[in-house]
Protein backbone atom coordinates (compact mmCIF):
# COMPACT_ATOMS: atom_id res chain seq x y z
CA UNK A 1 0.00 0.00 0.00
CA UNK A 2 1.27 3.44 -0.94
CA UNK A 3 -1.09 5.10 1.56
CA UNK A 4 -1.67 8.75 0.67
CA UNK A 5 0.23 10.11 -2.32
CA UNK A 6 0.53 13.72 -3.46
CA UNK A 7 1.79 15.33 -6.65
CA UNK A 8 3.78 17.39 -7.30
CA UNK A 9 6.31 17.39 -4.45
CA UNK A 10 7.52 20.91 -5.24
CA UNK A 11 6.09 23.76 -7.30
CA UNK A 12 6.99 27.38 -7.97
CA UNK A 13 4.28 29.65 -9.36
CA UNK A 14 4.12 33.29 -10.33
CA UNK A 15 1.39 35.47 -8.84
CA UNK A 16 -1.83 34.97 -10.77
CA UNK A 17 -1.00 31.53 -12.16
CA UNK A 18 -3.24 28.58 -11.46
CA UNK A 19 -2.48 25.01 -10.56
CA UNK A 20 -4.04 21.85 -9.17
CA UNK A 21 -2.57 19.74 -6.39
CA UNK A 22 -3.40 16.08 -6.69
CA UNK A 23 -4.02 13.62 -3.86
CA UNK A 24 -4.88 9.93 -3.96
CA UNK A 25 -5.31 7.26 -1.29
CA UNK A 26 -5.43 3.50 -1.65
CA UNK A 27 -6.84 2.65 1.80
CA UNK A 28 -10.51 2.77 0.72
CA UNK A 29 -11.10 5.66 3.13
CA UNK A 30 -14.29 7.66 2.73
CA UNK A 31 -13.03 11.00 4.09
CA UNK A 32 -10.26 13.19 2.70
CA UNK A 33 -8.78 16.51 3.81
CA UNK A 34 -6.52 19.33 2.68
CA UNK A 35 -4.37 21.21 5.20
CA UNK A 36 -1.74 23.90 4.88
CA UNK A 37 1.27 24.23 7.17
CA UNK A 38 2.89 27.60 7.75
CA UNK A 39 5.76 28.47 10.11
CA UNK A 40 4.42 29.57 13.49
CA UNK A 41 0.82 28.72 12.53
CA UNK A 42 0.65 24.97 12.67
CA UNK A 43 -1.53 22.98 10.29
CA UNK A 44 -4.89 24.45 9.33
CA UNK A 45 -7.78 22.79 7.53
CA UNK A 46 -8.58 24.20 4.09
CA UNK A 47 -11.33 21.89 2.80
CA UNK A 48 -12.56 18.42 3.51
CA UNK A 49 -14.72 15.75 1.91
CA UNK A 50 -16.59 13.58 4.39
CA UNK A 51 -17.65 11.17 1.64
CA UNK A 52 -17.59 10.84 -2.12
CA UNK A 53 -19.69 13.58 -3.68
CA UNK A 54 -19.48 16.02 -0.77
CA UNK A 55 -17.06 18.82 0.05
CA UNK A 56 -17.06 21.44 2.80
CA UNK A 57 -15.02 24.44 3.83
CA UNK A 58 -12.54 24.29 6.64
CA UNK A 59 -10.85 27.07 8.57
CA UNK A 60 -9.02 28.78 5.67
CA UNK A 61 -10.86 28.09 2.36
CA UNK A 62 -10.48 31.47 0.64
CA UNK A 63 -8.58 31.29 -2.65
CA UNK A 64 -9.02 27.53 -3.05
CA UNK A 65 -11.41 25.12 -4.68
CA UNK A 66 -11.59 21.35 -4.35
CA UNK A 67 -12.92 18.40 -6.30
CA UNK A 68 -13.64 14.94 -4.95
CA UNK A 69 -13.12 13.12 -8.23
CA UNK A 70 -13.96 9.68 -6.87
CA UNK A 71 -13.45 7.80 -3.62
CA UNK A 72 -9.67 7.68 -4.12
CA UNK A 73 -8.88 11.18 -5.34
CA UNK A 74 -9.27 14.67 -3.89
CA UNK A 75 -7.72 17.64 -5.69
CA UNK A 76 -7.03 21.21 -4.52
CA UNK A 77 -7.03 24.04 -7.04
CA UNK A 78 -5.53 27.49 -6.77
CA UNK A 79 -7.26 29.63 -9.42
CA UNK A 80 -5.07 32.74 -9.08
CA UNK A 81 -2.08 32.11 -6.85
CA UNK A 82 -0.96 34.77 -4.36
CA UNK A 83 2.26 35.02 -2.33
CA UNK A 84 0.16 34.42 0.81
CA UNK A 85 -0.50 30.91 -0.51
CA UNK A 86 3.17 29.99 -0.22
CA UNK A 87 2.99 27.03 2.12
CA UNK A 88 3.32 23.29 2.49
CA UNK A 89 0.10 21.51 1.57
CA UNK A 90 -0.84 18.17 3.08
CA UNK A 91 -3.57 15.80 2.06
CA UNK A 92 -4.98 13.33 4.57
CA UNK A 93 -7.55 10.57 4.63
CA UNK A 94 -9.62 8.83 7.28
CA UNK A 95 -12.01 5.91 7.48
CA UNK A 96 -15.22 7.25 8.97
CA UNK A 97 -16.84 4.22 10.49
CA UNK A 98 -19.59 4.20 13.04
CA UNK A 99 -17.57 5.65 15.92
CA UNK A 100 -16.03 9.13 15.57
CA UNK A 101 -13.67 8.24 18.43
CA UNK A 102 -11.88 5.87 16.07
CA UNK A 103 -11.35 8.32 13.19
CA UNK A 104 -7.60 8.32 12.58
CA UNK A 105 -6.09 10.52 9.89
CA UNK A 106 -3.21 9.46 7.64
CA UNK A 107 -1.15 12.06 5.86
CA UNK A 108 0.65 12.32 2.55
CA UNK A 109 4.23 13.59 2.10
CA UNK A 110 3.19 17.14 1.23
CA UNK A 111 3.56 19.60 -1.65
CA UNK A 112 5.89 22.53 -1.11
CA UNK A 113 4.49 25.52 -3.01
CA UNK A 114 6.20 28.86 -3.50
CA UNK A 115 4.36 31.77 -5.11
CA UNK A 116 6.58 34.63 -6.26
Partner 1 sequence: KQEVTQIPAALSVPEGENLVLNCSFTDSAIYNLQWFRQDPGKGLTSLLLIQSSQREQTSGRLNASLDKSSGRSTLYIAASQPGDSATYLCAVYSGGGADGLTFGKGTHLIIQP
* Contacting positions for partner 1 (CB under 8 A): 31, 33, 35, 40-45, 48, 50, 56-59, 90, 92, 100-110, 112
Closest distance to partner 1 from the beta carbon of 20 (Å):
19
Between 17 and 75, name the residue whose CB sits nearer to partner 1: 75
Q: How far is the CB of 37 from partner 1 (least distance, A)?
A: 9
Smaller CB separation from partner 1, 43 or 69: 43
Q: How is residue 22 annotated by DSSP?
A: E
Quick one: residue 2, left, alpha or beta (phi over 0 = left, psi -120 to 50 = alpha)? alpha
The CA distance from 48 to 92, in Å, is 9
Query: How far, in Å, are 37, 44, 66, 87, 89 from residue 40 at the CA level?
Result: 9, 11, 25, 12, 15
Q: Tell the smallest beta-carbon distance from residue 16 to partner 1 (Å).
A: 28
| For partner 1, the closer CB: 49 or 85 | 49
Amino acid sequence: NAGVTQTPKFQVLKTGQSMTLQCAQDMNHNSMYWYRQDPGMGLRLIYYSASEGTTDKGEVPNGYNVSRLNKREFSLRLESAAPSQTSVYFCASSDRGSLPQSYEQYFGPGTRLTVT
